[in-house]
Structure 1
Amino acid sequence: MEETGKRPWSDLPPEILSIIGNRLHTRMDVLRFRGVCSSFRSSIPRPRYDASRFPFRIPTSTPRFALFLRASTVYAVETPDGAAPSGRTRWLLRLEESELERMRILSLFSHRRIAYLPHEFPEVLDSLQFRIVEIFREYTLECGGGTGGLVQCAQKVVMHPDCVGSDVDRCSVYFIDKIGRLGYWRYGVENWSHLDDSQGGGYDDIAVYEGRVCVVDQFGSVSEIHSSFGLQSLSPPIYSGNHRGSGGFWKQLVVSSGDLYLVDRYTESIAYSEKTRPTCDFRVYRLDRQWGRWEEARSLGDSAFFLCKHCSFAVSALELGGGNGNCIYYTEDTYSYYSMEIFKVFSLADRSVKCLGFSDSIWRLPT
């Protein structure tokens, strides 16, 4: 019996290539797919280059008041052998593409620009030679007026829809302001609006989950923002009571492996100011979609959660170099904008906290 020879990837039928291409969710995946060969390239269009649209100015009712939407992306990068003096390396870094073919490297946990790169970091990142995986896309809002410059004016921002084919002109922006109020802006509208709800604030985090924009309040109750910009409850609160002391100090949402998690941060109860209390513990909960309730998660499996200032995301052990899952990476909010950050990691296995030291650079992963 004659053996069947291997067929090149370019022989795949166009309809199959189109189905595969339409399931790609990130710009990096589309670019790498189109780079395989001419048949792959012709099966799906090139992704829109929206970097030139950012910072995107949002109109306001006050002409002298400026409001800008900025975008940045967290990538996992693995360099090939010989690309760096130390051989094969892995990095976790955040890039802000502000102009066509120009970008800035930002701190992973905050939004500071990194001016000095480690000596072992490669001079050129070639997406055809390096393994580059898009982990998370973050948005921030900056506002200002007069000569005071622009400052961060929201603690969390999401844009929806936000996929490789999304057009900024067709999206809505949702945000939680500095005092915990929930707001939104829809393209074509002259000003942003706050959601009219009975709580009048008290929201901790916002995230996109299964194509829905979800928010969590200080009691751990999650609601969906539906198309008419109203709120629909998805889960009961984790804690009862009428004050934040019934749970942790701060709640953040993380989407990992198709599930929605809530990370509740506990801080020391000793006499610190509200912004300088050190973290002493975390509790993690997974949303049971069938029953609409929270279940405490004793393990994150092979995933690690990163709790950053303006975003939260999960990274698999594969991207971390293996053996680094089931933990939470975070920083303490005790340092000024111009100070270096102190990184810490919390292990769910033994509930220990380890200080990783100070850094003002990009995040190098073990190999």
Structure 2
Amino acid sequence: MDKFVFGVNDKKEIWWCNNEESNDDNNNVWTRVSDEEAEYFSDIIVHKGQIYALDLNSAIWWISLSELEIFQYGPSTPMDYYEFDDCKDKRLVEFCGELCIIHRFCKTFRVRRVDVERTTGFKVYKMNMELVEWVEVKSLGDNAFVMATDSCFSVVSSDYYGCLENAIYFTEEKDVNNVNVFKLGDGSVTNLVESSENCFHMFYPPFV
């Protein structure tokens, strides 16, 4: 964002710096952005020239570039998940010009006497501006989401050979050498077989 740089560190904190300013050691000075109600965040994004952050309670915050403070933007997304064990990850993504939130769900399975955590599904939400509430997106149409390690973005599936529409591509935290795909239509999760004919062969080694 012009002269400003924002980021979320591994402690889930948002920090910013002015890349036109530095201290005597020629290093950028970083300042933390937080609020009494929101200290930790899972993602940050630039959307239509504005900066938004997603906190760990699934609420979106707007960051003012003039004041460098945060203000809550609308209500939190629903968290009443009865069929899932854990909402493992939450991301922001721009989809068809709208700001959306992706929730990733995991369960722990016992495999050969070892607990293994696996992704079981995703839910996508967008803001209904008339009702001022988050509504679930049931279909991505001819689009797909790629949930990479440090970013999340959408693509038009028909632009990429072998890319499935209405799907989310991702890797498991402890199995980053394999790309998986979640089909939003039937809720299935399958492993993506590496192939030079598939557009996603570019993600081997896995996308980062």
Common fold by TM > 0.5: yes
Residue 30 of structure 2 aligns with which residue? 192
Counterpart residue type for residue 285 of structure 1: Y
Q: How does 1:10-21 map to 2 (within 5 A)?
A: none
Residue 135 of structure 2 aligns with which residue? 295
Residue 232 of structure 1 aligns with which residue? 71
2:109, 2:118 within 8 Å by CA — same for their partners in 1?
Answer: no
Shift of the 292–212 alpha-carbon distance from structure 1 to 2, 3 Å rule, reads farther
Residue 176 of structure 1 aligns with which residue? 8
Alignment identity in percent?
24
Shift of 1:328: 0.2
Counterpart residue type for residue 11 of structure 2: I
2:86, 2:106 within 8 Å by CA — same for their partners in 1?
Answer: no
Shift of the 246–172 alpha-carbon distance from structure 1 to 2, 3 Å rule, reads farther
Q: Aligned pairs, how many?
A: 186
Q: How does 1:40-189 map to 2 (within 5 A)?
A: 160=1, 170-189=2-21
Shift of 1:321: 3.6
Residue 268 of structure 1 aligns with which residue? 107
Residue 25 of structure 2 aligns with which residue? none
Shift of 1:216: 0.6
Residue 116 of structure 1 aligns with which residue? none
1:209 aligned to 47, 52, 60, which one? Answer: 47
Q: Deviations over 1:143-182 (max 9, x none)?
A: xxxxxxxxxxxxxxxxx1xxxxxxxxx4211111111111
Higher relative contact order (CA 8 A, sep 6+): 1
Shift of the 293–171 alpha-carbon distance from structure 1 to 2, 3 Å rule, reads farther
Matched, 1:254 2:93: yes
Bigger-Rg structure (1/2): 1
Counterpart residue type for residue 173 of structure 2: D
Matched, 1:362 2:202: yes
Q: Which has the higher strand share?
A: 2
Instruction: Determine the C-alpha separation between the residues in 2 that align with 1:215 and 1:204.
Output: 8
Instruction: Determine the C-alpha separation between the residues in 2 that align with 1:247 and 1:284.
Output: 16
Shift of 1:188: 2.7
Residue 277 of structure 1 aligns with which residue? 117
Shift of 1:209: 1.0
Shift of 1:200: 6.0
* Moved segments of 4+, more than 3 Å: 269-272, 289-292, 357-361
Residue 170 of structure 2 aligns with which residue? 330
* SS in structure 2 at match of 1:277: strand
Instruction: Determine the C-alpha separation between the residues in 1 that align with 2:202 and 2:164.
Output: 18
TM-score (norm 1): 0.46
Q: CA RMSD in A?
A: 2.8
2:12, 2:40 within 8 Å by CA — same for their partners in 1?
Answer: yes
Shift of 1:269: 3.9
Q: Which has the higher helix share?
A: 1
1:302, 1:325 within 8 Å by CA — same for their partners in 2?
Answer: yes
Shift of the 326–226 alpha-carbon distance from structure 1 to 2, 3 Å rule, reads same
